[in-house]
Amino acid sequence: MQPLAIFGGTFDPVHIGHLSVAWEAAELLGAEVRLLPASVPPHRPAPQASAAQRVAILHAALQGQTRLSVDTRELDRDGPSYTIDTLAELRAEQGERPLVLLLGADAFAGLPSWHRWRELFGVAHIGVLSRPGVEISFGEALQQELAARRVDDPMTLHETPAGRVVELAVTPLEVSATRIRELLADGRDPRYLLPAGVFADPRLLLPYRSG
């Protein structure tokens, strides 16, 4: 069964760094990828654009292809969500379909601080997005989980619904939403750092323009 992979983030705004990573992961896994914009906890700085504005930009960015899509379930709930709850909800909807949580290698290294982290392996596989040539060290608890779960071939994730960890080597692009917000606030036009669809409607980027 074709896996369903999820890639979470603030996406304030989504940019080619996010999209190329999600696309390459989709190819390596033979999967559909959903981008899940997150609600931001009250103690973190609020995104510059509202949830509705970030979703509108995501829809514009994803035009013209069907492999990547947007899933707004975390925004539709009250307050921020735990990843384990989001994955449990997807599991209930998707039956035995393989689910893959996509995480950057640094986020994966911090997994043991997450709410009910060991339960994540019961509901999903994890695809660790690594940059070629960059090694990140993992603590002992994570090493132990990895010893039992690590596989080399991403396509083996098609065989079971959850529980494996695979490294996905993706192409690094030095693009961040922070930099794009700075450029837009300065009246610049980051034409090739955002997908073309986003420029089709100039209103989409207004939340980031100053004045």
Residues interacting with ligand ATP, by CB under 6 A?
9-12, 17-18, 21, 104, 107, 173, 175-178
* Rounded least distance, CB 105 to ligand ATP, Å: 9
* Rounded least distance, CB 98 to ligand ATP, Å: 20
Judged by beta carbon, residue 157 or residue 170, the one nearer ligand ATP is: 170
Tell me if 163 sits within 8 A of 134, measured CB to CB: no
Judged by beta carbon, residue 5 or residue 21, the one nearer ligand ATP is: 21
Judged by beta carbon, residue 101 or residue 157, the one nearer ligand ATP is: 101
* Rounded least distance, CB 11 to ligand ATP, Å: 5
φ/ψ of residue 96, rounded to 5: -90, 5
* Rounded least distance, CB 175 to ligand ATP, Å: 4
Judged by beta carbon, residue 101 or residue 123, the one nearer ligand ATP is: 101
- Residue 49: in which H helix or E strand, if any? none
Tell me if 102 sits within 8 A of 131, measured CB to CB: no
- Residue 4's DSSP bridge partners are 32, 99
> Exposed, middle or buried, 96 (CB in 10 Å: 0-12/13-18/19+)?
exposed
Alpha helices in the chain (DSSP H): 16-29, 51-61, 73-76, 83-94, 105-109, 120-123, 140-149, 177-185
* Rounded least distance, CB 159 to ligand ATP, Å: 26
Judged by beta carbon, residue 137 or residue 140, the one nearer ligand ATP is: 137
Q: Which of 70, 92, 89, 69 is nearest to 81 (CA)?
A: 89
